Structure 1
Amino acid sequence: MSDYRHLVRKWVKPEDLNQHGALFGGRLLEWVDEEAAIVAVTQLGTTDVVTRHMSAIDFAARADRGDLLELDYRVSKFGRTSITLSCRVENAVTGQEVLTLDSIVFVAVDAEGHTVVHGRTEPTPGTERLRE
């Protein structure tokens, strides 16, 4: 594809912790999915997208209170009705990989939830497609 990247940072706060004092996995997946949806929306130019698929999830390292995480997204490919992203989460404090998702697939949908052709083939660095 191209070298388009979308990087976002999240700070692990006390309300994000599980009973063991580490980042709750569900909270991390919420962050990953929400930001991936934002990437899909800006790339496809429509807010009418839904998550269709996420590849296997394997937590490689823990994150603790006060850690700063970097969620690094890349566009892997555009389908006719879909966009596939990848996401690598790294702990900016320790440098360890926390989580990698090889594919997160979103599809463009109409008002009834049926897939629609989006017509995109290349990534854009901005939000201009939302204003087209």
Structure 2
Amino acid sequence: MRFLSRRLVMPNDLNYANSLFGGRALEWIDEEAAIWAICQLETNCLVTKHIGEISFESPALQGDIVEFGLETKAVGRTSITVSCLVRNKATKKTICFADDVVFVKVDPETRQPTAHGKTLEGLKAQTDDEVRRLNLNLDE
């Protein structure tokens, strides 16, 4: 899983218990997973089709920095399935995990599903190449 994005928990992100509001976390997950899928498939003509199981494990508080770990689980003819782990940057404690976030490539005019031409193996190689070009450590 690659942790490539971070957010600061601000006062307007909190619920009545002064911890990160679950709805805000879900909004962030949808956005971060969409960005991951857009970069993987090299198209921004994607729609969220499904978000599977979501489990909340620990709270995030005002001032915490949360980071988003993403990985591609599966690739279909028109779809990509992503997992997203949200964790506290300082403690590494899991805040929440969203499994099976599915995006579908659509035709920009008809809005109908359309093939993206990618494979899971090809995306793994593409990601490894991008990481090497950025001189990042593959073992993180």
TM-score by length of 2: 0.82
User: Partners of 1:116 and 1:82 in 2: how far apart?
Assistant: 9
Of residues 6, 9, 21 in structure 2, which corresponds to 1:9? 6
Partners of 1:100 and 1:46 in 2: CA distance: 25
More helix by share: 2
Mark the CA change 1:99 to 1:79 in structure 2 (over 3 Å): closer, same or farther. Answer: same
Which of 102, 117, 139 lines up with 1:119 in the alignment?
Answer: 117
Correspondence for 2:22 among 25, 37, 51: 25
Deviations 1:11-55 (A, max 9, x none): 101111112111111111111101111111111121110001111
Whole-Å separation in 2 of the counterparts to 1:85 and 1:77: 7
Residues in 2 aligned to 1:6 and 1:114: alpha-carbon distance in whole angstroms: 32
The CA distance in 1 between the partners of 2:74 and 2:4, in whole Å, is 18
Superposed, 1:27-42 pairs within 5 Å as: 27-42=24-39
Instruction: Please give the alpha-carbon distance, in whole angstroms, between the structure 2 residues aligned to 1:5 and 1:64.
Output: 23
Distance in 1 between residues matched to 2:98 and 2:25, nearest whole Å: 12
Tell me how far apart the structure 1 counterparts of residues 72 and 54 of structure 2 sit (CA, whole Å).
18
8 Å CA contact 2:3, 2:67 repeated in 1: no
Cα distance in 2 for partners of 1:6, 1:67 equals: 16
Conserved in 1, the CA contact under 8 Å of 2:55 and 2:96? yes
Q: Output the CA distance in 1 between the equivalents of 2:91 and 2:70.
A: 20
Q: Which residue of 1 aligns with 2:88?
A: 91
Within a 5 Å distance, the mapping from 1:19-98 to structure 2 comes to: 19-98=16-95
Structure 2: unaligned runs, 5 residues or longer: 131-140
Secondary structure (helix, strand or coil) at the match of 1:51 reads strand
Alignment length (residue pairs): 123
**What is the one-letter code of the residue matched to 2:21?**
F
Between 1 and 2, higher relative CO (CA 8 Å, sep ≥ 6) is seen in 1
List runs of 5+ in structure 1 lacking aligned partners: 127-132
* 2:92 is the counterpart of 1:102: no
1:105 partner amino acid: V
CA contact (8 A) 1:60 1:99 kept: yes
- RMSD over aligned CA atoms reads 1.4
